Amino acid sequence: MLGHLMRFPEMCEEALSIEVELPDVKPASVVVTGMGGSGIAGDILNDWLDLRVPFDVCKSYKLPTWVDEKSLVIAISYSGDTDETLTCVLEAVEKNAQLVTITSGGRLEEMCKTLGKPCIKVPPGLAPRAALPYSLFSAILVFKKLGLAMDKEGEIKESIELLRTIREEMAPERENNQAKNIARMINGTIPIIYAPIHLRGVALRLKNQFNENSKIISKAEFFPELCHNEIVGLSSAPKNLSFLFLRDAGESKQMKKRIEFTEKLLGGRNSTTIWARGRGRLARILSLVYLGDFISFYLAILQGVDPTPTPEIAQLKAETS
- Residue 208 pLDDT > 80: yes
Average pLDDT over residues 42-46: 97
Domains, the chain, ordered by start: 2-150 (3.40.50.10490), 172-303 (3.40.50.10490)
Average pLDDT over residues 111-139: 97
Residues tagged active-site? 212, 228, 317
User: Hey, which residues does 255 pair with through a beta bridge?
Assistant: none
What digits encode the pLDDT tens for the residues 274-303?
Answer: 999 999 999 999 999 999 999 999 999 999
HSE toward the beta carbon, residue 122, CA cutoff 13 A = 31
- Residue 246 pLDDT > 90: yes
What digits encode the pLDDT tens for the residues 266-277?
Answer: 988 899 999 999
- Residue 23 pLDDT > 90: no
pLDDT at 294: 98
CB atoms within 10 A of CB 247: 21
What digits encode the pLDDT tens for the residues 109-122?
Answer: 999 999 999 999 99
- Burial label for 107, CB within 10 Å (0-12, 13-18, 19+), is middle
Average pLDDT over residues 234-244: 94
Read off the pLDDT band of 149 (50, 70, 90).
confident
What digits encode the pLDDT tens for the residues 75-103?
Answer: 999 999 999 999 999 999 999 999 999 99
What digits encode the pLDDT tens for the residues 24-40?
Answer: 889 999 999 999 999 99
pTM over 0.75: yes
257 near 265, Cβ under 8 Å? no
Q: What is the spatial order of strands in the sheet that 71-76 belongs to?
A: 55-58, 29-33, 71-76, 98-103, 119-121
Average pLDDT over residues 9-36: 94
Average pLDDT over residues 162-173: 98
Residues 10-44: b if buried by 16+ CB within 10 A, e if exposed:
ebbebbeeeeeeeeeeebebbbbbbbbbbbbbbbb
Average pLDDT over residues 123-150: 95
- Residue 321 pLDDT > 80: no
222 near 203, Cβ under 8 Å? yes
Average pLDDT over residues 176-196: 97
- Residue 171 pLDDT > 90: yes
